[in-house]
Structure 1
Amino acid sequence: MFSFDQLRGFVAVAEELHFGRAAERLNMTQPPLSRQVQKLERAIGVRLFERDNRRVELTAAGTAFLSEARRLLALADNAPDLARRISAGSAGTVRIGFTAVSMLAVLPAVLRRIDERLPDVDVDLYEMVTGEQIDALLAHELDLGVARPPFDPDVFGSRVISREAIMVAVPAGHRLTGLGRPVEARDLATEPLIMHAPSKARYFYDLVVSLVPISHRNVVHSVSQVLTMVWLVSAGRGIAFIPEAATRLGIEGVEFLPLAGVDKPVELHLLWLKDAKNPALWQVLGHLDGFQV
Structure 2
Amino acid sequence: MPVELHQLRCFIAVADELHFGHAAQKLDMLPSALGRYIKLLEEDLGTRLLTRSTRNVALTAHGTLFLPEARELIERADDIQKRFQKLARQNAGRLRIGAIDSAAVSLIPHVLHHFREQWPEVELSFLEDKSSRLLPKLKTGRLDLIFIRPQSLMDSALFSQFLFYEDVVLAISEKHPLANRTEINVEDLRDIPLIVPEKRVRPHSYDLTLSLFDHAGFKPNLMQIADEKQTIINMVAAELGAAVMPRWVMRMASLNIKFLPIGQGYENIRSKLPMSAVWVKGARDDARDNMMKIVMDELPVIAGLY
Specify the TM-score bucket, using the shorter chain as the normaliser: 0.5 to 0.7
| SS across alignment from 1:125 | strand
Which sits farther off after the overlay, 265-274 or 186-195?
265-274
| SS across alignment from 1:282 | helix
Pick the aligned partner of 1:238 from 225, 237, 241: 241
Tell which has more relative contact order, 1 or 2 (C-alpha 8 A, sep 6+). 1
Q: Kindly provide the amino acid, as one letter, of the partner of residue 219 in structure 2.
A: S
CA distance in 2, matches of 1:98, 1:200: 16
1:20 is matched with none
Pick the aligned partner of 2:223 from 220, 226, 251: 220
Matched, 1:271 2:278: yes
2:143 is matched with 142
| SS across alignment from 1:289 | helix
CA distance in 1, matches of 2:145, 2:82: 28
State the TM-score, normalizing by the size of structure 1: 0.66
Q: Kindly provide the amino acid, as one letter, of the partner of residue 192 in structure 1.
A: P
Q: Kindly provide the amino acid, as one letter, of the partner of residue 178 in structure 1.
A: N
RMSD between aligned residues = 2.8
Give runs of ≥4 in structure 1 deviating > 6 Å.
none
2:33 is matched with none
Alpha-carbon deviation of 1:254?
0.9
- Shift of the 289–179 alpha-carbon distance from structure 1 to 2, 3 Å rule, reads closer
Q: Once the two structures are aligned, what percentage of the paired residues are identical?
A: 24
Question: What is the CA deviation profile of residues 231-262 of structure 1, one whole-angstrom value per residue up to 9, with x for unaligned ones?
Answer: 21112221111100111112111110111142
Count of residues in correspondence between the two structures: 220
Give structure 2 stretches of 5+ with no counterpart: 1-67
2:210 is matched with 209
CA distance in 1, matches of 2:93, 2:185: 50
Give structure 1 stretches of 5+ with no counterpart: 1-22, 28-72
Alpha-carbon deviation of 1:208?
2.4
Kept in 2, the 8 Å contact 1:117–1:287? The answer is: no
1:41-190 pair list within 5 angstroms: 78=82, 80-81=84-85, 91-150=92-151, 152=154, 154-180=156-182, 182-190=183-191
2:200 is matched with 199
Q: Kindly provide the amino acid, as one letter, of the partner of residue 215 in structure 1.
A: K
Alpha-carbon deviation of 1:79?
5.7
1:262 is matched with 266
CA distance in 2, matches of 1:126, 1:85: 23
| SS across alignment from 1:158 | strand
Kept in 1, the 8 Å contact 2:89–2:122? The answer is: no
Alpha-carbon deviation of 1:275?
2.9
Larger-gyration structure (1/2): 2
CA distance in 1, matches of 2:85, 2:286: 15
Kept in 1, the 8 Å contact 2:208–2:244? The answer is: no
| SS across alignment from 2:196 | strand
CA distance in 2, matches of 1:232, 1:169: 10
